Amino acid sequence: MLESAYGFEKSQVLAVLQAMLANKSWVLQHADCFVAALEQFASSNAGFADCLILAASQQENLALWTFDRKLGKLQGVQRLTAEMLKGE
């Protein structure tokens, strides 16, 4: 979202997120989840928000279903298709 909506490069988004993680002035509610999402974001085409949702679902041992093509390519995510919803 940050990349497409605001024109930021992925490297810029990564740098800001890594700086937030390293800054002791910030207290992250679920730092372990943030770190897992950051690692997934760095190594995939999915957006950071999607990676954060995936990390949170994995932390809670929940299945993650999505219509999003990029997120649907990640391990542990089931992509929903129209055929699946129609029962075909």
The number of folded domains in the chain is 1
1 contact partners, CB below 8 Å, separation of at least 6:
47, 48, 49
Residue 88 pLDDT greater than 70, yes or no: no
Helix pair 48-59, 31-42: axis angle to 10 deg: 130
Reference 50, options 59, 62, 38, 60; nearest CA is 38
pLDDT digits (tens, 9 = 90+) for 18-66: 999 999 998 989 999 999 999 999 999 999 999 999 999 999 999 999 9
Domain range spanning residue 45? Answer: 2-86
Residue 87 Cα distances to 31, 52, 57, 81, angstroms:
39, 30, 25, 10
Give this prediction's pTM. 0.84
